[in-house]
Structure 1
């Protein structure tokens, strides 16, 4: 029953992405779906993997670490998409292939040091603040080039690109257009940093229209969020 429900939702989300790509004159293959599984159990992650999803996102280490361990044998790329404190870096680096929320030099340096210790590379995105809400994280657009340069020069890290969340109650299309401009400026300096992580269940169409390469979708895939219980 749950597998059929998720399969139906996945088909709907895939069609939404495909339609957004058609409207924007883009190829469907340019946009990767990240299934955000926060508050959902490892069983749902396994179902998504069975259905062909290969990218999974989490935003709280205390939930993500045990879930990733339970799903260790699956062919998944794990994305950490939430705000990250430096005291959680060691744990996150163990399972995360991509960290979307790097918004300060100290955090980038800590991730790099831990990645080197663990003998791996972590792809990092600069989180860009598109509003004035300090609790949501992100660096102001003017500070992005400096932080991007630091990430690119830090052993253990690979600069992936940029990430942002649309302002609450704001114009998502205008925000994502700003993000695209920031992303292009980063790519001028770092041509391989092509990732633009933007768009969620409610605004993925606007994100795709403005260059998103990775959309982070949870509710539309898995239903209304509930308290996670292991």
Structure 2
């Protein structure tokens, strides 16, 4: 099977899964945007995905993302930065990303706004909220209690547009319970920020649960591209 056919088959399966979850939840599949995570995969795969109708691509390592976005600048793609973000690289990330999904602390807002100011279009921003229990190892995301202040900083910043929330289900935890909590947090968040309707949640192993909980974006890599290549 050619690489094109492999990717086409993976995409078809994931799109069927999204459609099935939407049917269960009484939602229109067009409400859910698929972000294909291409971390560690080559530019050639990105080009094949674009040929297959993919419009949104996710990356989570700055150096790789920057190079890949530049190499694929001729493609009509929306680039999502979804990885942990260092404040000293935030301005650079904002220069090529269209969406940054992993804003979890106020220290990132200034550099992101500075980087976004050097481009023609404003930068869409999602706040990453932690669904892990306090003290969990490797915990990423802001505490729910810190969201109002962080949202206020983003909303006030020039060149940034507050779009909503992003989260990852806790490793080894119950994704149904985690995404139910996320949905509740998002409802409260939208009541304070009516335009922040995006909810990015769900990956290859749990996307159905996220869609049923109201996710508007799912971030899928291995279910489409296969196992990640070994990186030296």
Same fold (TM over 0.5): yes
Mapping of residues 167-182 of structure 1, within 5 Å: 167-182=170-185
**1:6, 1:221 within 8 Å by CA — same for their partners in 2?**
yes
Q: Which position in structure 2 is the counterpart of 1:7?
A: 8
TM superposition shift of 1:168: 0.5
Q: Which position in structure 1 is the counterpart of 2:76?
A: 75
Q: Which position in structure 2 is the counterpart of 1:94?
A: 95
TM superposition shift of 1:90: 2.6
Q: Which position in structure 1 is the counterpart of 2:205?
A: 202
The alignment partner of 1:135 has SS state of coil
Alignment of 1:219 onto 2:228 = no
5+ unaligned residues in a row in structure 2: which ranges?
A: none
- Cα deviation 1:200-225 (Å, max 9, x = unaligned): 00000000010100000000000001
Q: Which position in structure 2 is the counterpart of 1:158?
A: 161
Q: CA RMSD in A?
A: 1.2
Change (3 A) 1:45 1:136: farther
TM-score for both structures, normalised by structure 2: 0.95
Q: Which position in structure 1 is the counterpart of 2:142?
A: 139
TM superposition shift of 1:228: 5.0
TM superposition shift of 1:134: 5.4
Mapping of residues 55-74 of structure 1, within 5 Å: 55-74=56-75
The alignment partner of 2:179 has SS state of helix
Structure 2: how far apart are the matches of 1:126 and 1:77? 18
TM-score for both structures, normalised by structure 1: 0.96
User: How many residues are treated as equivalent by the alignment?
Assistant: 229
Q: Which position in structure 2 is the counterpart of 1:41?
A: 42
After superposing on structure 2, the runs of 4+ consecutive aligned residues of structure 1 that deviate more than 2 Å are: 117-120, 132-136
